[in-house]
Structure 1
């Protein structure tokens, strides 16, 4: 009899324990559901917290909170992309409107009957210059959109970087002369090669050299060097106008350190270079040392 009573008491205690645990577990699930409801309806942005300990429930809470973090990051990235797109549209609208307004204004002058031949030639040259600027801007913007597409084609092959860098620099001979700049070129005799798309590599270097020519108030230095596993093209120029703050935005679309120098650049050259480097699996970043802007391109070596 005592044994039966003992078993009955134990059974009651076990039942009470499990019923109590079930009650608290169910209450905690309802509490978690309420927290998720408030989170999904933007009543709060707090993650789940538990008041009742259960190993499986705790693991579920950790996974849900991790998913909440992923969602927050995705939303933040979406907002950033939307803001970038709005800014890009505003910038391209401004850059198109400025030369277009000038073109339309001078076309009206050209329609006047009392213009001299010299004035007609002058106004025609201004209209042509504005039209060419629009052409470059639209071509750069179109090129950037193509490069950033998922299916942008790359034709990789072995490149002799010594020859390619020299070939690019020869093409800028006249521009260096016009700007009274004397480039300092460091290209070692040792052959350096990499596997990449030659036209993409050339375009990157061209854009960086062009940027250095346009914005340098001193000499431009071009250096080709290699480390144990990479090949670097380093282009530096004096840049008194650039600050550490500017470095964060140099590769953004349409970013210009001097907003008044709209005729010299579309503000897309560095963005195109950066996008091409990303496509090639390389790296492009900028540093500022002693009032010198240093652009560093880096590729893994090819053999």
Structure 2
């Protein structure tokens, strides 16, 4: 169940990434909004600029036109309070009527940090008085008691981190609580999907957020089980049919071969008649071998062939098969070269010796069948890296690259010649592969340096 933790990690990763991106977005938006707003020191600087720009002459106080224009653009008003009399000695034309014209020390303190009649006010110092700049009531908000506890400010970074951690934990808990039900529905779904390729029957309770998906998986499992059952019945019927047909053909085929053999050896028949009888015997033998191969291939495919595994010397098994073929090659058209190194006398494997003899015999017989005009057959046993390999090769007609690819790709090797009397059923290589698969080995087909055909049988050595 490796995919569920991965899914949880993905959800948590998305959550953390979303939180980080949201925090960064908020900081960026806050910076944009703050930069677009009026700077905090702007009105104080304007008030100080007003105090420094205000000039007194014989006729009174005068303000430069540039500063006056700036005040009009800001919709602001201004007054100048004399230090000695605490009276307003200068004012702008648009001064509100509710603004007092005389002040006390407490009034000065109040307007400096706060308001005059709800108008936010800012002050600028001059040599003989105090310039007061007022803005519309909805222009600024002033904090009138700007004092903070020292420890609060000192511990502010730690406090912010703690608050952030608590918020993150709370968001995570809420997220996990909201997805627990979903994760609970996902677990059986994942288990069911992983069990489907194994051919197991799957049933998932059809409830929760993913009930429709569970229903589909249940239907898929039922369909696969039904198909598997039908396939097993079909394969069993085919295996039984092959076994039955093989058994039924053997008796009449034996009679045909017996009578044909008698006719072939009858001196009273003409040469042509005895030759026809010989052809009947030869083709009957091919038919018998085909039936035996077909029956063995069927038993191997459906695991009906009993295996008698034991520790055997593969070199001795292969040598015995080679000797048997040498004794049968009376004409000498298919000599066998034994290429196994002399110092390799034992190659222990765990195998069924009869089946291994059958596999090697099939390979040598293929060399004989496919090279009717003769060829040299090379047989070799090697042992390397705790692995035994049997190589059977010939210097005969070989096979084209296309034929090699077909033999490597095809699961059945059904190959036929154009000449009807020389059909090759191709079950020999199939049986070889099945026997090697049953022993935990493999068969590899390739071309050799002689230009002929090579098959390598590899299997683990027995320690």
TM over 0.5: yes
User: Which residue is equivalent to 1:135?
Assistant: 288
Q: For residues 429 and 420 of structure 2, what CA distance do their matches in structure 1 show? A: 16
Q: For residues 399 and 303 of structure 2, what CA distance do their matches in structure 1 show? A: 37
Shift of 1:270: 1.5
Q: Does residue 213 of structure 1 match 2:213?
A: no
Higher relative contact order (CA 8 A, sep 6+): 1
Taking structure 1 as the reference length, the TM-score comes to 0.58
Max Rg structure = 2
User: Which residue is equivalent to 1:252?
Assistant: 412
Q: Does residue 295 of structure 1 match 2:458?
A: no
Shift of 1:230: 1.4
- Alpha carbons of 1:184 and 1:62: their partners in 2 closer, same or farther (altered >3 Å)? farther
User: Which residue is equivalent to 2:382?
Assistant: 225
Q: How does 1:273-292 map to 2 (within 5 A)?
A: 273-289=432-448, 291-292=451-452
Q: How does 1:150-161 map to 2 (within 5 A)?
A: 150-161=303-314
* 1:197-230 CA distance string (max 9 Å, x none): 1111111111111112222464322111112131
Specify the SS of the correspondent of 2:392: strand
Q: For residues 173 and 279 of structure 1, what CA distance do their matches in structure 2 show? A: 28
**Contiguous gaps of at least 5 residues in structure 2:** 1-207
Taking structure 2 as the reference length, the TM-score comes to 0.40
Q: How does 1:164-243 map to 2 (within 5 A)?
A: 164-176=317-329, 178=331, 180-188=333-341, 189-190=343-344, 191-216=346-371, 218-237=375-394, 238=396, 239-241=398-400, 242-243=403-404
Asked if the contact 1:214/1:264 (under 8 Å) is kept, the reply is no
- Alpha carbons of 1:262 and 1:268: their partners in 2 closer, same or farther (altered >3 Å)? farther
* 1:230-256 CA distance string (max 9 Å, x none): 11101122404544334323x615x22
Q: For residues 126 and 218 of structure 1, what CA distance do their matches in structure 2 show? A: 23
- Alpha carbons of 1:131 and 1:215: their partners in 2 closer, same or farther (altered >3 Å)? closer
Q: For residues 133 and 181 of structure 1, what CA distance do their matches in structure 2 show? A: 19
- Alpha carbons of 1:273 and 1:240: their partners in 2 closer, same or farther (altered >3 Å)? closer
**Contiguous gaps of at least 5 residues in structure 1:** 1-53
Q: How does 1:5-84 map to 2 (within 5 A)?
A: none
- Alpha carbons of 1:233 and 1:62: their partners in 2 closer, same or farther (altered >3 Å)? farther
Matched residue count: 225
Asked if the contact 1:157/1:195 (under 8 Å) is kept, the reply is yes
Asked if the contact 1:176/1:183 (under 8 Å) is kept, the reply is no
Computed over aligned residues only, the root mean square deviation of the Cα atoms, in angstroms, reads 4.2
Q: For residues 167 and 203 of structure 1, what CA distance do their matches in structure 2 show? A: 12
Q: For residues 257 and 247 of structure 1, what CA distance do their matches in structure 2 show? A: 16
**Could you tell me which of 130, 148, 152 is aligned with 2:301?**
148
Asked if the contact 2:313/2:348 (under 8 Å) is kept, the reply is yes
